[in-house]
Structure 1
Amino acid sequence: MKFMPVLAFAASVLASAAIAEVPDLGGREVTVVTENAYPPLQFLDAGGKAVGWEYDAMDEIAKRLNMKVTYENSSWDAMIPAVSEGQYDIGMTGITIRDDRKEKVDFSDPYMRSEMVMLVRGDESRFTDGPSFAANPDLLMAAQPGTTPFYVGVYEVLDGDEANPRIKLMETFGATVAALKAGDVDLVLTDGTAGQGYVDASDGGLKIIGGPLGSEDFGFIFPKGSDLVAPVNAAIAAMKADGTMEALNKTWFLDYKMGQ
């Protein structure tokens, strides 16, 4: 038992050291772009205010790094090219870390892992999983071009044809969910984080069916060669070490009620 306080003290020292290693950016001004269509990561609340897990996380990162953040809004299609071209310093909208995207932008270390799920209307009974959806040629899915849900839909649910007419392409994730609610499409593939957020806000109008279709890691994006990557990674590591990330998960995935 005499060793327990020593171990606890050592853990505390290690955590403090991780926090101490976060650099001071001296009030550097940084522009962060997001989509505001991916609850609970980032979205507009009932009063029209931009809120969410990523906003709180980025505000905390900015505080720890002593940088001043200005937020801008962009569509998904425009976001990665705009960050790649240096129009913005950081991009965030639940962006899956993928090798093809690493050719255009740099990624932070993962700040979250999520699983791909099938989001459908609450009264859906014609299919219960990917194979039964694929077997009915009358069923349609919505997706944003170039996103992980698009590729999962093409290669894991359908026939691998990226021009398959059963996939209806839309500019924003919010538009895909709106089309689902309106009955224009029958399925939206999304990560479990956003999917559960929409289900919780739907009052039974939406549900998740089937099992997960694989996992994905989310990261912030930067122009290639950005000197912000290392500081942001240091802040992410410190926030994981001291429990901040866990607290944010509780706030946005357990406590927050969509629509408030």
Structure 2
Amino acid sequence: MRNTVRSLLPALFVLTLTAATGCAPQESSPPSGAGSGTGSGTGSGASGSTAAESCDPGALPTEAKGKLTVGTDKPAYAPWFQDDDPANGKGFESAVAYAVAEALGYAKDQVVWRTVPFNNSVAPGEKSFDFDINQVSISDARKKAVDFSAGYYDVRPAVVALKKSPYAKARTIADLKGARLGAQVGSTSLDLIDATIEPKQRPAVFQKNDFAKSALRNGQVDAIVVDLPTAFYITSAEVTDAEVVGQFVQTPGAAEQFGLVLDKDSRLTPCVTRAVEGLRADGTLAALEKTWLTDAVDVPVLK
């Protein structure tokens, strides 16, 4: 009898374990949204009650306890910021940063701004911010060094030239091939020049957009490539004898997006992504874009 019982025990143990496993709630696969560059999904690696607990403001592992540290470059350009003051809440990216902070449970007086050069924000290494907002396009290359939130803005690159330049009359990509073009170093605008326009001359590369604008004003380049809202601002307030020549069409399903930059494998990434996606879903991002960014009206498409 003892031998019989002993021989049955392993089988009974397996049956019991199988039944218990079958009845136990199963964890779902981690979603794949954060840093994907698509603006869709629900974050990376956090879901259900676990995400809700980890995204509680009191539990967020921020740079400074009880504070949210946000990085951006200086100068902080319009229309993304106003008066070179990210903390005033004016300008699209300043408003987005505070909206994300609020969604994470941080009031305006709990947000700390830190100056971070553009290239430093996407370089490998530990970050001095919780997230950075500085017109940084999500790309596979950059995701090797940093995390991204879901996209908060769909980018449309544009060409700016002086009104007197023959390239102000360009209507196709081919019309720009002979131009001396310029863009900020490390930017997707520079990538677009190299991969899409393929000019005969190597493009001029500038550390900041300020230098690119000066080069355009002084005739050192024929045209510069920037995002469309920046192009509108340059031509209306900074280089008023320039005009927006045209914009580039985004490939359906592969639109370039700006994302919030976080440290690689940051525990905040799923929470920040959830906040951004919530702001997109409830119409906040669209409303802020309408408030702070100029509509792309009557700008020809360069094909």
TM class by smaller structure = 0.7 to 0.9
CA distance in 2, matches of 1:72, 1:81: 16
**Equivalent position of 1:74 in the other structure:** 116
Query: Is 1:228 matched up with 2:291?
Result: no
Distance 1:38 1:49, change over 3 A: closer
- Choose the corresponding residue for 2:126, options 85, 89, 92: 85
1:28 counterpart SS class: coil
In 2, are the aligned partners of 1:37 and 1:173 still within 8 Å (CA)? no
CA distance in 1, matches of 2:294, 2:212: 24
Query: Is 1:172 matched up with 2:208?
Result: yes
Structure with larger Rg: 2
Code of the aligned partner of 1:173: N
Shift of residue 222 of structure 1? 0.4
**Equivalent position of 2:293 in the other structure:** 253
**Equivalent position of 2:22 in the other structure:** none
2:150 counterpart SS class: coil
1:110 counterpart SS class: strand
**Equivalent position of 1:12 in the other structure:** none
2:138 counterpart SS class: coil
Query: Is 1:64 matched up with 2:96?
Result: no
- Choose the corresponding residue for 2:66, options 19, 25, 28: 28
Give matches, 1:95-106, under 5 Å. 95-106=136-147
| Structure 2 residues without counterparts, runs of 5 or longer | 1-51, 59-64, 296-303
Distance 1:37 1:131, change over 3 A: farther
TM-score by length of 2: 0.66
- Choose the corresponding residue for 2:80, options 29, 37, 41: 41
Code of the aligned partner of 2:175: S
Code of the aligned partner of 2:66: R
**Equivalent position of 1:7 in the other structure:** none
CA distance in 2, matches of 1:166, 1:25: 48
Shift of residue 37 of structure 1? 4.3
CA distance in 2, matches of 1:243, 1:165: 43
RMSD over aligned Cα, in angstroms?
Answer: 2.5
In 1, are the aligned partners of 2:155 and 2:227 still within 8 Å (CA)? yes
Query: Is 1:191 matched up with 2:227?
Result: yes
CA distance in 1, matches of 2:118, 2:140: 18
CA distance in 2, matches of 1:182, 1:213: 29
TM-score by length of 1: 0.76
CA distance in 1, matches of 2:217, 2:187: 21
Identity in percent: 25
Distance 1:210 1:249, change over 3 A: closer
CA distance in 2, matches of 1:165, 1:37: 30
